[in-house]
């Protein structure tokens, strides 16, 4: 029997029992679609996190107040030293690898213009922030390049905040009230959306000294450092820690690199994607059992046909091939339909949430299809072997 004849024979057998075949196809399809959808969402989450951290800028160090470890005795001890503007100034002066140093204070306040008001995030920083963070302006200018400890009464508004307060009017040059402070608007940010938890469209940026006074903060929220070259990151990190230890007499800050955070999150989410894909693949074993049951019923119903084939000299190997071909066709067709269904669901998710780059990785697609075919052949082996063991005389005598 040639491969073409074998294929035609298997197809006729499957189409002769359409409902049974369709149910087996459905089991395989659901298993493969689950693998594609879950791995696609997991990979999308990984790419989204990587993109969010990449949007921070390049060659960045982030200094956070407080040490990320547990020390001391329960009930004894105090808060770590404040991370101050003097610390940021010392880093800029004593860390040669630092190209830009942008201290940051964060809080919320009411921004109002005439009868309109809006609660927004308030970010206090310096002129270096626009370059280190790759912030884009729509109009006007960013914070002036001035003395770190001088707090001018100026602000840069986010795109949405400016539109809500001023409609179509140009806000540049107008005076708004941020909290209880009167401030002149000197610029408006381009539309950028939310990045790393900060909505840049609904934001008021003020000089860092002004922000700390306005928000009644004694410690900075972060210090953002952009180094000259990527190869300087580790050296700059060590030098920043040395400067802080010299000033605070203890290592009471945490310095993280952008690359370290991206690598950690990427590894965690890649492992999670693999795990959920493996869990989804378990459903393929259930589909395999369904294929086995279908093939066992097929063998019992086609006993006379098998006996006839054996009586005319058809080898056991060819009979085995017929039933394995049927199982492989079911699993292959179900796998392809499952891939298509999973792809459509993932595309629907990206259409509804364009910022979420969901996409099933190639390894997951190939693995899902390979496992589905393998499961079909594996679970089809028992019925196929059972068919080859039938006695031709006894098989012909059955009704």
* 152-188: pLDDT as tens digits: 889 999 999 999 998 888 899 999 999 889 999 999 9
C-alpha span between 2 and 160 (Å, rounded)? 69
CB 228 within 8 A of CB 239: no
* Residues 193/197/200/203 CA torsion (nearest 10 deg): 140
Entry pTM: 0.61
Q: CA distances (Å), 385 to each of 16, 308, 380, in order? A: 22, 17, 9
C-alpha span between 233 and 219 (Å, rounded)? 24
Look at residue 82 in the predicted model and tell me its pLDDT. 85
Look at residue 72 in the predicted model and tell me its pLDDT. 47
DSSP 347: H
- Spatial neighbors of 272 by CB under 8 A, at least 6 apart, are 42, 45
CB 185 within 8 A of CB 157: yes
pLDDT in tens, 198-256: 788 889 999 999 888 888 888 899 899 988 887 888 888 899 999 999 998 888 888 88
In this prediction, the residues of the chain whose per-residue pLDDT falls under 70 are 1-18, 52-58, 68-80, 147-149, 196-197, 258, 261-262, 264-265, 296-316, 319, 383-399
Q: Retrieve residue 233's tokens.
A: 């990151």
Look at residue 157 in the predicted model and tell me its pLDDT. 93
C-alpha span between 228 and 223 (Å, rounded)? 16
Among 257, 260, 279, 258, smallest CA distance to 268 is for 260
Look at residue 205 in the predicted model and tell me its pLDDT. 92
- Spatial neighbors of 261 by CB under 8 A, at least 6 apart, are 53
pLDDT in tens, 326-348: 778 888 888 898 899 989 998 99
Among 235, 216, 215, 211, smallest CA distance to 225 is for 235
Look at residue 364 in the predicted model and tell me its pLDDT. 80
């Amino acid at each position: 029997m040639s491969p073409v004849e074998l294929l035609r024979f298997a197809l006729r057998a499957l189409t002769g029992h359409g409902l049974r075949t369709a149910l087996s196809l459905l089991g395989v399809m659901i298993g493969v679609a689950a693998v594609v959808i879950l791995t696609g969402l997991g990979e999308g989450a990984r790419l989204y996190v990587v993109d969010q951290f990449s949007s921070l800028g390049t060659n960045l160090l982030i200094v956070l107040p407080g040490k990320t470890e547990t020390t001391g005795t329960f009930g004894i001890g105090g808060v770590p030293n404040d991370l101050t503007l003097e610390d940021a100034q010392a880093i800029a002066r004593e860390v040669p690898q630092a190209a830009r140093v942008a201290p940051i204070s964060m809080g919320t306040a009411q921004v109002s213009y005439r009868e309109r008001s809006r609660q927004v995030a308030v970010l206090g920083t310096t002129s270096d922030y626009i370059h280190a963070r790759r912030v884009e302006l729509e109009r006007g200018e960013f914070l002036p390049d001035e003395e770190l400890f001088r707090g001018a009464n100026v602000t840069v508004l986010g795109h949405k905040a400016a539109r809500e307060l001023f409609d179509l009017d140009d806000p540049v040059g107008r005076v708004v009230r941020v909290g209880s402070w009167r401030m002149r608007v000197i610029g408006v940010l381009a539309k950028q959306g939310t990045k790393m938890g900060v909505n840049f469209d609904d934001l008021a940026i003020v000089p860092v000294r002004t922000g700390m006074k306005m928000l009644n903060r004694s410690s900075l929220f972060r210090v953002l450092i952009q180094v000259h070259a990527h190869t300087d990151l580790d050296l700059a990190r060590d030098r920043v820690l040395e400067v802080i230890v010299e000033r605070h007499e203890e290592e009471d800050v945490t310095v993280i690199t952008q690359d370290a955070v991206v690598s950690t999150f990427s590894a965690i989410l890649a492992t999670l994607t693999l795990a959920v894909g493996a869990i989804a693949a378990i459903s393929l074993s259930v589909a395999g059992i369904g294929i086995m049951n279908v093939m066992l019923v097929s063998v019992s119903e086609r006993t006379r046909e098998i006996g006839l084939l054996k009586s005319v000299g058809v080898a056991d190997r060819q009979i085995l091939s017929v039933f394995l071909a049927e199982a492989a066709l079911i699993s292959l067709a179900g796998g392809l339909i499952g891939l298509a269904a999973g792809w459509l669901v993932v595309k629907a998710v990206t259409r509804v949430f364009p910022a979420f780059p969901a996409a099933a990785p190639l390894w997951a697609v190939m693995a899902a299809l390979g496992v589905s075919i393998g499961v079909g052949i594996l679970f089809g082996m028992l019925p196929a072997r059972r068919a080859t063991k039938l006695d031709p005389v006894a098989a012909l005598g059955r009704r």
